[in-house]
Every structure is written in C-alpha cells, then in structure tokens.
Structure 1
Amino acid sequence: MPSDQPGETRAPGPIRSEPGSLLEHVPVAVLGFDTAGGVRYWGPGAQDLFGHPAATALSRPAAALFPASPRGPGPAERLVERALTLGYWRGRLPVLHRDGTVFDCGFRVFPVTGAGEGEVVMALASRGDELERVKTNLAFLDALFETCPIGLLMLDEDLRYVHLNQALADMDGIPVRDHLGRDPADIMITADGGEFRRMLRAVADGGGPLVGALVGMRTPGRPDVDQVRSVSLFPLSGAAGSRPGVGGVLIDVTDRERARLEATAARRRLALLDRASARIGTTLDVDTTARELVDAAMPEFCDGSVVEMVEWMYPSEAFDPDLPLITRRIAAGTVLPPPAPALLSARDRVTYPPGSSIHRMLSTGRPLRATVDEEFAARTVGDPERARRLLDSGLGSIVIAPLIARGHVQGFTIFGRSAARPAFTGEDLGLAGELASRAALCLDNARLYSRVQDISLTLQRALLPPAPDATAHVSVAHRYLPGSRAIEVGGDWYDVIALPDGQVALVVGDVMGHGVLAAASMGRLRITARALARHSPDPEGLLTELDAAARDAGIELATCLYAVYDPRTGHARIANAGHPPPLVRHPDGTVETVGDVLGVPLGIGGVPFRSTRVRLPDGAVLALYTDGLVEARGQDIDEGLDALRAELARAAGPLEREADRILAALLPDGATDDTVLVLARIRRADAEDGEPYEE
C-alpha cells in the first residue's frame, strides 16, 4: 500500500474505482490508523477529502480528523475497535475538514498486518453525497432493466448477449437465461440478407450510434408472428475503457407499422378507385369500357386482368350452377412475361365446367379469392393444356368479381397477381368488388346504348333506298357513312327517282337530331318525297307538301334539297329547304355552286319555296351531300366547302372510285356525323354519240 511520508512528492489525483463502472467518478481516500490512535498512512485521495497535506496528517492524532465526541470513545477509536473486532466494517460517520466544515463520509475499514510491524487499520473513505449519487444511479439502472417496457440489451465484442431485460425476453418469447452467450441472429431472425447483422458489426467497430432503424423479424419463441422493431444501437467500447460491445434499445412497433401500412394501403385503394372512376366509361362502347377496366387495374392492383361476358341464351335466362358456363372474353392484359399473354388473350370463348370458381362466385354474387394451384386449375379450367398454361403463367392468386348492373349478371372480371407479390387481402377483395360494380354500370350503359344504336342503324338502313332508280341519262354513285359510335345515328337520307316523263329527281335531306326518332322521321320524309315526286315533279310544290307533312308529323327541323333534271333540255330545276347547296363539276374541271337559294328548313311553315333553273352541260357531275361531309369541329364550313370543290375538280374518272377518293380525302379519320355523298354524271338525250363515260 503506498503512503505519503513527510518530504515525499504527493501522488497526483485521487484513487478512483475500476474504469467503466458507475463508481469511476467517485473519489476514494485511502488512509491507515495504528492502534495507538495515530495516522500511519495517508493515501493520495485523503488530502482531497480532508484538506490536510500528508506531513500535517501524519503528525497528528487520528481524532483530529473527526468532530470531538462529547462523551465516550471518539470516532477514530470506534473505527479501530470495530475493524479489529469484526475484521471488516462499513458505516457512515461525520468527518472534519481542515476548513472546519463537517460532512458525512462513508467508511470501509479492515485490519492489516505486516512483517515486523504492529497491526494497522486501513480505511477507504468517500463523501456520503457521492456515494448516494452512485447508489441512486445504480438503483435507477436496476429499476430500468427490471421495469422498462422496452427492450434493452448488451452485446459483447463478439456480438453475443451478456445482458438483457425481461421486456426484450418477452418480445422474443424466450427466457433471459436462454439468450446469454448466443448470437442475436439466432434469436432475431430476419430476411434481409444479413443487413441487421452488418448494422450490429458496424456499430461495434466504431461506426457511431444508429437510431430508429426499422427491422422486420421473427423469433424462435414466436415463429408465426411477424414483428417490426425500431432498433437503436450504440457502441460500448468508447465509454472510458469499458468492456467493448454494443448496447441497444428495441421497441416493438408492429402495431404502429401495421396501422401505418393499412392506412397507406387504404389511401392507395381510394386513389386507385378515384382514378379508375375517371378512366372507366369514357365512351358508350362495350369493348372500350372493358379495356379501360383492365388498364385501370394494372399494374398497381394486379399483374393481369380479363373481362368476360356471359353468353346468355336469352336476356332473362337464370344462372344454373349445374350447367357449363360459356363466356366471351372481350378485354385482357398483363404485365407478366410469356406464357401469361397467350393465356389471357382477348376475344376468346371460354367454357367453365360446373363446380368451377366462376360458378361459386356467380352463385353468391360476391367477389371471390383463390390461390392458383393444381386444384384450382383442375376445377376451373376445363382444357388440360390451358390449365397447365395457367400454372406456368406466374400467377399466384386471383380475385373474381361479378359484373352486375340493374340486377342483371353481365359477366365477370378476373384480377391476378404474380406469385412474387403479396396475395390479395380482404381489403383488396372489397376494392375488386367496387371496381367491378362501377365498371358493370358503365358496361350496361354501353350495352343498352349499343342495342339502341343497332336498332337505329337497322331502321335507318332499312328506310334508305336499297338502290337508286337506274336511268339512261344519269349515272349515280352514292355513299352513306354513319357517324362514329360516340354519336347516335342521324336523319341523313338521299334518293334518286326516275320520273314517268324521262326526267330524273335527285333528293338529299337531313332531319335534325339523332336516334330512332330522327331515323323514323327521315324514312317518313323520304317515302313521302318519292310518292309526291311521281305525281308532281314541280320542286316548289314538292317542298311545300313535304313541309306540311313534316309539321303534321311533328318534325320541327329538317333540311332538303330537291333537283329535277330533264335530259331532253339539259336543264335542272333546284329547290332548297335550308340544305347546303349542290356543286357542279363541268367537263373542263371547273366547279361552281348552283341553286344557292337556301330557303327555310322543313317544319317551320309560312314561307314559300322557290326554285332555281340551271343548264347542266353534257358530262357534268352534280354533287349532293349533307353537312357531315364539310363540317368539322374547329373548322369553318367554308373551309370544308373549299376542300370539297378541290376534290370534285379532280373527279374525272369513274364515279364509284371518285366517291371513295373524296370521302377518304375529306374524312381521313372516318365520319364523326352521318354523311351522305351523291355524285350524278349528266348525259343529254340529244347528245352526239362519242366515247362512253366509264362508270
């Protein structure tokens, strides 16, 4: 035991406890008393504690270090006596500082014996308040490890458990003792390719603390429970020479992360549903609507999708689960590689045997989830080759949702996910049903519209002339183009009528509006015009009668152009009821507008009609048309008329070929409104024989 003797150099600083412990910062004084009551040894921390230098302390009695005792033995005597009697004693006594202050001090005393020397009592002394601080800290740490609700651990430099609390053991489902000495990778099993282990090693090697890293894991104690933990790690090797290793704080945030993920997934589902609602049903076309449903679902919701319509024998047919179900696939798509695209190919008739998942879904009328496996393929896909292709497609799970609108089952849609993605959840099942429900209404609207449009087109074509009357002096090429499926059928019509006296009447008209009513009104006017023309070819009188017929039928607005050509004179009389005027191409290629007295449309009444008399040269081409040929959105009608004049000027060839060429030039993307074009080449009855016109 070193000592300070008179005249020796004082050792610097107090003696402290073992580095790395909580006692490291508690000064400890070492001193010794002999049995005669003197100070025998004075350690380096004694001066700091009592304030006396070694020379002074060693020359004074031990009693000088303590307040005077009013009666009985003094504190120094009691320390010596208890050490000699008990062999070891610890306790608290007040001590006297050199400056006269008294403070509490903790002592540990025990006797020592040296060769040739008498007994000496050694004392270790520390301030009482410092000891209380350490005691409090130790108590706090003990309480922290015992009662803290979050996981605490200590790993050694080899990254093995040396200490952990009960909260972490409970999280792992493994007792504390079964952790000690084991590697964390044996307890916290992750699927991150060793990333968690690399994080631990990086911190242990001085890489700095890591705060709040999210780690997904399972443990042997809870092998069926997925956990997410917030992990904070800090190195122990830098703590004033303490034992190297890693300390950690682990918090189970599984519920929080699950709630966050569920909230995020819910927001994504709502966003997808909102986008799908905007994208599905932009047209009244069944195939387009089905394609929009497939495109809206991929790739965010699924990796492949099909839409199939049930081929019912009649509209009111009830579903029979004991019979095979035949469907027509009208839309399909996938982002998966082959053979998935061939499996999901569109416009393919599919037969599902009784007992299939499709039958189960239609029996309940609710969406259904299924795993794509051997059993599913065998029960649902009747064709073995197709079943094998399904199993090889990469699809792992599917959802089948019915397309039901207005109480009618139209078909169903199938959404499929790759086996590499999480399977569909119950929430996904609800989203699939919502997507299908919204699409079903759009599909039913498109189906009903298509049916009405088909009726209108059928009626319109039935009311148009199957073939204009053939005449010797007027050659005709005629074209009728219905508007696109986005526009209902209109009331455009035309006719060529051979009159009893050798004259020829050409008629073109347009009933304002669309749909069945417009088609029916058009048919009524065409038939009325044909009947009137054969009894009274006078253009003014015919339009007057048509006007009265229109008003009697409730037709509010219709245009009509009526021209009568007399091949004997080469003259034509043209009357117009608000219709675009006809154009004439002369044999030299010039084009002019004739009969440009427009007049008022039919159905208005009260205004007389007038006619224009024009002479048409032999070989001239008369062009009659409706506004669908020259009107377009964003284009002035004069521009359309100029384009028609330019194309008509080139019409020197056969009329059939020229009619197709003119339509292709003026309507390159097809008609957006009903369009009629009639080209009539004029021959005079008294014209000299020459080269015939090729028709």
Structure 2
Amino acid sequence: MAKGATTPDEPGSTWRGSVPDSGAVVDPRGVVLALSMGTCRLLGYELAEVVGRAAKRLLAEPLPAPVRRSCAERENWSGPVTVWRADGDSLLVTVQGHPLQDTAGDTYWFLTVVSLDQAGVPSASGGALDTALFKQWALEQLPLPMALYDRAGVRFEVNAAMTRESGRADHDLIGWPMGQSASGQTLAGSQGVDETLRRVLTTGDAVTTELHGLGPGGTAGRVWLLSLYPVRDPGGQVCGMSAAAVDTTEQFRARRRLTILNDAGLRIGTTLDLGRTADELAEVGTDHFADFAVVDLLDSVLRGEETAAGRNNLLVFRRTAQRSVLPGCPESVVPLGATYSYPEDSPPGRALAAGRGALHSARDILQWWEESSPERAHSIRTYGIHSLMAVPLRARGVTLGLALFFRHRAPVPFEEDDLRLAEELGARAAVLVDNARRYGQERATALALQRSILPQHPALHHPAVEVASRYLPAHSSAGVGGDWFDVIPLSGARVALVVGDVVGHGISASATMGRLCTAVRTLADVDLAPDELLTHLDDLVLRMDREETVDRPDHPGDLSGEVGASCLYAVYDPVSRRCSMARAGHPLPALATPDGAVRFLDLPTGPPLGLGGLPFEVAEFTLPEGSVLALYTDGLIESQARDVDEACDLLRSALADPGRPLEETCDRTLRDLLPDARTDDVALLLTRTRALSTDQVATWELPAEPSVVARARGLAGERLAAWHLEEASFTAELVVSELVTNAIRYGSPPIHLRLIRDTALICEVSDVNSTAPHLRRARLSDEGGRGLLIVAQLSQRWGSRHTRTGKTIWAELPLPPAQEAS
C-alpha cells in the first residue's frame, strides 16, 4: 500500500463509507474525458485540473494484475485502486470499470467508485452522506445518457442526460420497457432494440449497438452508440441491465459522407455519355439522401457547343435525367428531353446566379411556383415535397447544368451537411460531364476529319473493279481510331486498293491517317510498285515519329514507336487480271472466286510501318474475273467476343456467295462479325474484279527505226476505225507518233505500242530503257524537245511508270461524246 494511504481500518481516517456521485470517463488513449463533481470532491481537485490529463497520473500504485488483464481483454472489472489526492495523500478505493466501444472499435471506459467502507461518505461539512443518495448524484451528474433496467427489462432509473437526449421527462420514462414511454409512443431511435435487450438479459453478454432516430422535437437525425451491460447479483445471476449511450452523430455523418462519395466515385462516370452520367448522378442522389432528383444539362452542352444563352439571355436547359423513390417519377412535370429556362428570381435561377448550392423549404418553392408554374405547385402539394436543394453543375469555370434534389418521404428536411454533400457530388459529376462533353467534341472533330479523308464514293465505275466499302468508328468509350481505305485509279486502266490502320485513337490518330493517306495517293500517282511504295511510307512514318519526339521534349527516354501503322497495298490490272500486293503488318486479304471457294491469300509478312530497315515483299496472283477481294483492318476479326480463327471462319461464310451484291455482303459481314461493343475502328473494302476483253486492247511490237513511226500511226488509225473512234483518230495518231518517236530517240528496243479503249482512250509506248522522260519547253531555235509538250496538251492525263524491264509512257485521251456516253 502506498505511503500515507488511508483505509477504512485506520483510526482517524477522514474518508469512510460508500462513495455516491463518483464516476469518470477515460478515452482509448487513457485521457480523462469527463469527471463527476463527486469525484472532484473525493480527490480534492478542480475539474479543469483532471479533465484532459492522463488517468495514470492519478494512480499512486500500478493497477493490480487482474485489473490490467481485464482492461486488455476489454471486460468489466472491479478491484482496489490506490489514487493520489490533491493534498498529496493516497486513497484506496474500490473501482468498477465498464468498457464502451464505438463503431470504429475503440474502447472508452466508464469508471465508478463503488465503496470506501460501510459507514458512508462525508459531506463537505464533515458529516456522512447516504450511500444511495451519493450514487443517485453520480448517476444524475454523469454527462453520458444512462438508464437502469430490471430483470423484466423495465426501466427503473434514468439520469438527466437521458431525459435531455430522449426529449421526455424522467417520470415519462421510468416504469416502461426500453423504447417505450408513458405516452405509449416509441422513443426515437429505439426501433429494433427489444431483441438486443432480451439477449443481454438472457445470455448475460454485453452488447454494443448503433441506434438511428430523431433528436428532441424530431427536427434532426441523431445517432447513438448504445452499450448494454448485464448487472449480476453476488451469486452471479443476471438481475438487471445498465445502458449507456454516446452521441456519435457527427462521426456517423462523416462516415456516411465518405461512403456516399466512395459509392459515387464508382457509379458516376462509368461511360463518356452525357445522358448516362446525368442519370447516374440522379440515381446516386435518390439511393442515399433524396426522394426525387432531376438533372438538367444545358442544351448547348448536349449539342457539343459552348455555353450560350437562349431567349431573353436565359440559359436553355434540357431535362436529361430524373429519378424517384416512386415508380415512374410521378413528381416530375417536365418530360425527359424537354427544354425550358429558369427565371432569375426562381430558386434554381438564384442558385445558378450565385454559382453555389442553396437550400429551400416548401414555403420558399411554393411561393414562387404558385405564380410562375402552377403545375409544379400542384405536384409539390400532391406529393408533400417539403425540402429542395438546387446545386449548379460547374466545371473549369463553366456552368454545364443544374441538379435538383427533393424530399417528401423522409420527414427530416435537408440540412447544411446534406447541401455540402450534394455540392461535392455535383462538383464531381460536373467534371465528368465536362470530360464527356470535351470528349464528344473531340470525337466529332476526329470523325469529321476521318470522313473528309475517306473516299465517299470510291471508284464506283472504275473499269477494273466494282467497289463497296464500310467504315465504322469504335464506340464512344474507345475513341475514333485511324483506320482508312482508298481506291486509286492508275494508268493503263489499273487500280490501286489500299487499307491501313494507324496506332492509337483520337484526333492525333486521324491526323496521322490523313498524312499517310495523302502520301499513298502521291506515291501511287508515280506508279510505284507495292513494295517500293511501302518502303517510302515506312520512311515517312519514321520521320513523323522523330518529329513527335522533338515536339515532346518533356517526355524523357526513347519515344520511338509512338507513331506506327499497318498497311496493305494492292495493284490490279484488268488487262492481265494480275494483282500484285504487299503488306506491312496487316491482316491477310480474303479472296472469293466465282466457284464459291474462299481463301486467305498467302501474302508474305512485312513489318509494321515505323520500324525501318526491313524489306517488304510483293506477291502476285491471277484473279478470275468476278472474284471478290476483301481487304479489312484488324478491328473486323479481333475482339474479346471470339478468337481470330472463329472470326475468319465467319468471314469465309459471309464471302461464300461471290455473286451476291457487294453492298449486301458488306452488311452481312459486319452483322456476323462485329460485337455490340466495339473497342476498335473497322474498315472494310470489297472489290469485285473486272477484265477487259481482247477487243478492247491492241498491242504491237515495233522495231527501233525512224520509219516505224508512220507504221505506228497507220496501225493506230486502223484500230480506232475498228472501234468506231474516227473522230479521235487525228489526235490519237499525233500522240502515238510523238510517243513512238520519243522511244526510238531516247529508249532501247524492243518497243511496244498498246491501245486500250474503255472510259478513255489510253495510248502506251514501252521500251527497256529505265530513264524517265522530262517535260521541257523548247526554244525557238531548237529542232526537237516539243514532243512531250504536245502530248501533255492534247491528252487529259499523261505520265510514265517504271516496269520490271524498263518504262512505259502513257497518255489518256477523252473519247468523243457519243462514244463516252455509250
């Protein structure tokens, strides 16, 4: 025992008997939170000297081992404790400890001094006080609401804090079971505790539970942490129960706020669709704190435009989403999709003008809507709407819309905490709406750029092929990609077929696609072979990649490979029916022949564009007339819905009928292969090959002699007469004469002359010299140098192309009007 400690056995001891009005509350850190006045008098301290200090500083001796063990296990305990008094003496008392747990799992301790000796406790005047009276004082002055219940669960004692929290007098509470009062009404927040009370009295286990209800007067929602403890007699039998409550409303609201915000983070903004985002905001509102919610977005935002005022400088809104706890949202008087404006003096208008949320009671909103919108006033009365929150949706300084939250089922009106929560939800939703708006604008821009580059009617009447095509952008969540196709007329009635796919999505991918598409057309115009064209295209992609690296110096490290693409380039000649093609990292083309067989062409694999230094190989195929050649991007056959082999089988099935109209085949192919949610763009180009008949082509081999020019003119004139093109004979013979003369003078034998009649008259002269001709303007004193200038002025197009054995100079002449029409 500590030196100077007094006990009931010591003669002359000042403190004797039981100790009423003696209690304290200690938090999980061991700090004294509350102290009864009786304890202050017992120890001789002022309240401010103890509250807020560590409880162990009052201990004159360490706690007994059984007490420490009970504290560690969070169990009720009772035992002797030696404490310091203010005068420096120690005092031995018997203390009972009761653990109180909150929802976070932290343990508070409620401590009471149960005895000093059997004689009583002295008063301030030195006389002994009645022990029962002392205990009553302790219970009354304890700041925590407490109540005592007998074995039948009937309340027989409450303290003043309990009467204040329940809003009822003590005589209205005593003599009634938990949750009931003398008035016969159920006490606020006590629903569902009967079963808990019976369990404590039956099993003897302490229980901690959370109660929700209304505070005094029913004006605000309150939450209490209720701890129920059995009271046992000396024989260990449960003879009653004590209950202590801690007001945890603020902690509960903070947890609820975090829970709602976390839920909103998961549920709002799951897509980049404006309507879906607005609906998700309304749904979260009605699921957690509102009975009816509407979201109105500016009509200009939904149209992808910048915010603009409508008539009379009023913002025009469109009802985008509405949710209610009642089926069908009967509270609404504005249908989804309708447009309207809020006057500046209306509750929503004032919130919009202020740029922050506002709370309104039923009287406020009725007063305005009675005059301006009787149908809204009727709805407010019909459904008993009594509270409104108007929250502007603003992001990056721009007003995007307005969210309105109503209550009519919940009896408690909205509070400032609800408004702060709604404003935070509105701020988050506004950022998501703005992101969706900006993405929609970017997507529209990328699509416009994409469609302006893609051929709208690709060579529908080309003599070499019949064409059908489709381009489908990815769904909005994935973004517009860089897929493209093209059909490019070439010299000699030939045609180039191109399909490509740029890595990435968005405007950047569309811009890169535009540059590549233009480059392919330029390179095709000089009649490069497929492998040479892909080599030049590969160099272009490498330069673009280096340019992007220079333009983004803030990105450290090697950025090579940021720009990349795949491409397939094919050239089809309707005279020979030969098709030469090469690919750069692109899927294999499919060929359906007139006999119904479908196969994927064995085309050598080439590296994707942008790697550099690796060669491309050309493969040639002879295509029967009427064959269908399918070129496509990987978005057609690659998806999460099925593997590539299954998609290829479906493509074979879709192409199995080569006689079907190409437009129908396009539709069936996309319907059979594409999933509902596309994550990549799809480009599909179908071509049915044509062949020029032998009577449309005439070819001669000529010796390299000057005298052969006259013969060439005669051969050309005879063929034109057979084709009934006498009107074009003079011009055609002159062009043939100049081309043959140029080949004899600057080329190498053998020399070939070829005439092709289709939508135009094509004159071609070939030799084995690879030197390309150059157009120049001859001086007055020059005897030559005017041949190609004459050819250029007489023809609608002319040019030269390299072949495997040399070069070909060609010119296209318009047909006479009658022949052209036929």
Tell me which interval the TM-score lies in, with the shorter structure as reference length. 0.5 to 0.7
Cα deviation per residue 1:435-487 (whole Å; 9 max; x = unaligned)? 11222222222222222222111111111112101213411110001011111
Please tell me whether the aligned partners of residues 494 and 509 of structure 1 are also in contact (alpha carbons under 8 angstroms).
Answer: yes
Give the match for residue 271 of structure 1.
Answer: 259
Give the match for residue 242 of structure 1.
Answer: none
2:524 corresponds to 1:536: no
Give the match for residue 414 of structure 1.
Answer: 404
Amino acid paired to 1:267: R
Determine the C-alpha separation between the residues in 2 that align with 1:298 and 1:402.
17
Give the match for residue 645 of structure 2.
Answer: 638
Give the match for residue 616 of structure 1.
Answer: 623
Q: Give the superposition deviation at 1:337.
A: 3.8
Give the match for residue 9 of structure 1.
Answer: none
Which of 164-173 and 436-445 deviates more? 164-173
Give the match for residue 304 of structure 1.
Answer: 292
Which of 463-472 and 164-173 deviates more? 164-173
Give the match for residue 498 of structure 1.
Answer: 489
Please tell me whether the aligned partners of residues 562 and 575 of structure 1 are also in contact (alpha carbons under 8 angstroms).
Answer: yes
Gaps of 5+ in 2: 1-118, 121-126, 194-200, 229-239, 547-562, 696-822
Determine the C-alpha separation between the residues in 2 that align with 1:632 and 1:475.
29
Determine the C-alpha separation between the residues in 2 that align with 1:483 and 1:635.
17
Cα deviation per residue 1:272-312 (whole Å; 9 max; x = unaligned)? 11111122223333223222222323322222222222346
Please tell me whether the aligned partners of residues 559 and 601 of structure 1 are also in contact (alpha carbons under 8 angstroms).
Answer: yes
Determine the C-alpha separation between the residues in 2 that align with 1:567 and 1:216.
86
Q: Give the superposition deviation at 1:591.
A: 0.9
Determine the C-alpha separation between the residues in 1 that align with 2:358 and 2:663.
57
Q: Determine which of 278, 295, 310 is the counterpart of 2:283.
A: 295
Q: Give the superposition deviation at 1:617.
A: 0.9
Determine the C-alpha separation between the residues in 2 that align with 1:566 and 1:385.
73
How many percent identity over aligned positions?
Answer: 37
Q: Give the superposition deviation at 1:636.
A: 4.1
Q: Give the superposition deviation at 1:625.
A: 0.3
Please tell me whether the aligned partners of residues 468 and 495 of structure 1 are also in contact (alpha carbons under 8 angstroms).
Answer: yes
Determine the C-alpha separation between the residues in 2 that align with 1:558 and 1:223.
68
Q: Give the superposition deviation at 1:265.
A: 3.2
2:425 corresponds to 1:435: yes
How do 1:125-164 residues align onto structure 2 when only pairs under 5 Å count? 149=140
2:308 corresponds to 1:333: no
Determine the C-alpha separation between the residues in 2 that align with 1:443 and 1:167.
49
2:670 corresponds to 1:682: no
Please tell me whether the aligned partners of residues 399 and 414 of structure 1 are also in contact (alpha carbons under 8 angstroms).
Answer: yes
Give the match for residue 391 of structure 2.
Answer: 401
2:590 corresponds to 1:583: yes
Cα deviation per residue 1:233-287 (whole Å; 9 max; x = unaligned)? xxxxxxxxxxxxxxx999996xx3xx23443233222111111112222333322
2:336 corresponds to 1:346: yes
Please tell me whether the aligned partners of residues 641 and 675 of structure 2 are also in contact (alpha carbons under 8 angstroms).
Answer: no
Amino acid paired to 2:492: D
Determine the C-alpha separation between the residues in 2 that align with 1:683 and 1:170.
96
How do 1:252-267 residues align onto structure 2 when only pairs under 5 Å count? 256=246, 259-267=247-255
Q: Give the superposition deviation at 1:663.
A: 0.4
2:576 corresponds to 1:569: yes
Determine the C-alpha separation between the residues in 1 that align with 2:573 and 2:147.
110
Please tell me whether the aligned partners of residues 215 and 231 of structure 1 are also in contact (alpha carbons under 8 angstroms).
Answer: no
Determine the C-alpha separation between the residues in 1 that align with 2:287 and 2:271.
22
Please tell me whether the aligned partners of residues 453 and 515 of structure 1 are also in contact (alpha carbons under 8 angstroms).
Answer: yes
Determine the C-alpha separation between the residues in 2 that align with 1:343 and 1:587.
63
Amino acid paired to 1:615: T
Determine the C-alpha separation between the residues in 1 that align with 2:215 and 2:545.
79
Q: Determine which of 283, 286, 302 is the counterpart of 2:271.
A: 283
Distance 1:194 1:609, change over 3 A: closer
Please tell me whether the aligned partners of residues 226 and 243 of structure 2 are also in contact (alpha carbons under 8 angstroms).
Answer: yes
1:514 aligned counterpart, secondary structure? coil
Distance 1:625 1:139, change over 3 A: closer
1:548 aligned counterpart, secondary structure? helix
Amino acid paired to 1:588: D
Distance 1:482 1:224, change over 3 A: closer
Cα deviation per residue 1:410-455 (whole Å; 9 max; x = unaligned)? 2222222224442212211111111112222222222222222221
Larger Rg: 1
How do 1:78-89 residues align onto structure 2 when only pairs under 5 Å count? none
Distance 1:216 1:360, change over 3 A: closer
Which of 521-530 and 619-628 deviates more? 521-530
Distance 1:619 1:271, change over 3 A: same
Determine the C-alpha separation between the residues in 1 that align with 2:405 and 2:450.
41
Q: Give the superposition deviation at 1:373.
A: 4.7
Please tell me whether the aligned partners of residues 352 and 382 of structure 1 are also in contact (alpha carbons under 8 angstroms).
Answer: no
Determine the C-alpha separation between the residues in 1 that align with 2:251 and 2:423.
20
Give the match for residue 57 of structure 2.
Answer: none
Distance 1:312 1:674, change over 3 A: closer
1:631 aligned counterpart, secondary structure? coil
Cα deviation per residue 1:44-68 (whole Å; 9 max; x = unaligned)? xxxxxxxxxxxxxxxxxxxxxxxxx
Q: Determine which of 650, 657, 661 is the counterpart of 2:664.
A: 657
2:140 aligned counterpart, secondary structure? coil
Q: Give the superposition deviation at 1:153.
A: 12
Determine the C-alpha separation between the residues in 1 that align with 2:165 and 2:498.
91
Q: Give the superposition deviation at 1:651.
A: 5.0
Determine the C-alpha separation between the residues in 2 that align with 1:223 and 1:638.
68
Distance 1:579 1:144, change over 3 A: closer
Determine the C-alpha separation between the residues in 1 that align with 2:148 and 2:608.
94
Amino acid paired to 1:461: R
Distance 1:485 1:143, change over 3 A: closer
2:503 aligned counterpart, secondary structure? strand
Q: Give the superposition deviation at 1:560.
A: 1.6
Q: Determine which of 473, 482, 485 is the counterpart of 1:482.
A: 473
Determine the C-alpha separation between the residues in 1 that align with 2:475 and 2:623.
36
Please tell me whether the aligned partners of residues 561 and 577 of structure 1 are also in contact (alpha carbons under 8 angstroms).
Answer: yes
Which of 308-317 and 355-364 deviates more? 308-317
1:641 aligned counterpart, secondary structure? helix
2:199 corresponds to 1:192: no
Amino acid paired to 1:529: V
Give the match for residue 13 of structure 2.
Answer: none
2:290 aligned counterpart, secondary structure? coil
Distance 1:659 1:355, change over 3 A: same
Distance 1:477 1:166, change over 3 A: closer
Q: How many residues align?
A: 526
Distance 1:465 1:268, change over 3 A: same
2:437 corresponds to 1:456: no
Give the match for residue 445 of structure 1.
Answer: 435
Q: Give the superposition deviation at 1:355.
A: 0.5
Q: Determine which of 498, 506, 520 is the counterpart of 1:507.
A: 498
Distance 1:395 1:557, change over 3 A: same
Distance 1:229 1:632, change over 3 A: closer
Distance 1:141 1:656, change over 3 A: same
Q: Give the superposition deviation at 1:529.
A: 1.9
Please tell me whether the aligned partners of residues 231 and 249 of structure 1 are also in contact (alpha carbons under 8 angstroms).
Answer: no
Q: Give the superposition deviation at 1:660.
A: 0.6
Q: Give the superposition deviation at 1:331.
A: 2.3
Distance 1:393 1:347, change over 3 A: farther
Determine the C-alpha separation between the residues in 2 that align with 1:669 and 1:168.
62
What is the alpha-carbon root mean square deviation over aligned residues? 5.0
Please tell me whether the aligned partners of residues 581 and 618 of structure 2 are also in contact (alpha carbons under 8 angstroms).
Answer: yes
Distance 1:380 1:360, change over 3 A: farther
How do 1:49-198 residues align onto structure 2 when only pairs under 5 Å count? 149=140, 189=183, 191-192=185-186
Q: Give the superposition deviation at 1:336.
A: 1.4
Amino acid paired to 1:359: G
Amino acid paired to 1:549: L
Q: Give the superposition deviation at 1:496.
A: 1.2
